[in-house]
Amino acid sequence: METGTAVNHVPHTSAEGSTGVQQSKARRWDVKRDDYLSWDEYFMAVAFLSAQRSKDPRTQVGACIVNCENKIVGIGYNGMPVGCSDDVMPWVNWDGVSNILETKQLYVCHAELNAVLNKNSADVKHCRIYVALFPCNECAKVIIQSGIKEVIYYSNKYGFKDECIAARRLFDVAGVKYRQYQPERKQIVIDFSAVDVVQWTPPSNSVPSTRPALNGDQVPKNVSAQDLSSVSLSQT
Ligand SMILES: [Zn+2]
């Protein structure tokens, strides 16, 4: 029962939870969650979140390198080399006809390369890499040379291109495994306001509830849909 305030602290129940999961039943505050992210979901989502840093108007790709202890050791996204201003370099996509020197193709560092170069460990040997798109041949070389042993990709929409065909050939010969990510949910929503929800377990095993707001509580402001940052795993 809500008393003492005009602001209702509504627990995430039939709406979306903090991970954007559609829940069919009310959440118990005193029982372990069973809708938490799997490792694959977590690391692929990190890759997709990283992609949102990209300035590329057409393709935003992120990559996340993980070691055998499920610890992240490198993150990257596609972008211009350090010191090459995003405002000076071209972002036009090469169409095969125009002057390639005035397109992004010859200048952009792909997400996989940046993730390897950004590593926070001595090396990335025996690691796996999560990436939104199946790697191109240039990134395949970097992946193989750095010692990464598995590629988990979300989309293979450019798989027909020579760059991806060559990459598969390189992976097959070098013994690097690759598999397509199997999404367990369509999207993961990051709702910053969820942390402000006041959670309280009633003394009996009755229905989930919230307690009345007390003096000193942080009362969350009303958050509109526009305030929510969404990272969709269905966009590549
Ligand atoms: Zn590449």
How many beta carbons lie within 10 A of that of residue 8, not counting itself? 8
**Active-site residue flag, 112:** yes
- Which residue among the candidates 2, 41, 69, 112 is catalytic per the annotation? 112
Where b means 16+ CB within 10 Å and e means fewer, 126-160 reads ebbbbbbbbbbbebbbbbbebebbbbbbbbeebee
Instruction: Tell me the CA–centroid distance for residue 142 and ligand 1, in Å.
Output: 9
Ion ligand 1: residues, CB < 5 A: 110, 136, 139
Q: Is the pTM of this model over 0.85?
A: no
User: What tens-digit pLDDT sequence spans the chain (236 residues)?
Assistant: 333 333 333 333 334 444 444 444 567 778 888 889 999 999 999 999 999 999 999 999 999 999 999 999 999 999 999 999 999 999 999 888 789 999 999 999 999 999 999 999 999 999 999 999 999 999 999 999 999 999 999 999 999 999 999 999 999 999 999 999 999 898 999 999 988 887 666 666 555 555 555 554 454 444 443 443 444 565 44
Q: Token pair 């598995």 is at which residue? A: 150
The rounded Å distance from CA 69 to ligand 1 centre is 26
Query: Ligand 1 centre and the CA of 7: distance in Å?
Result: 50
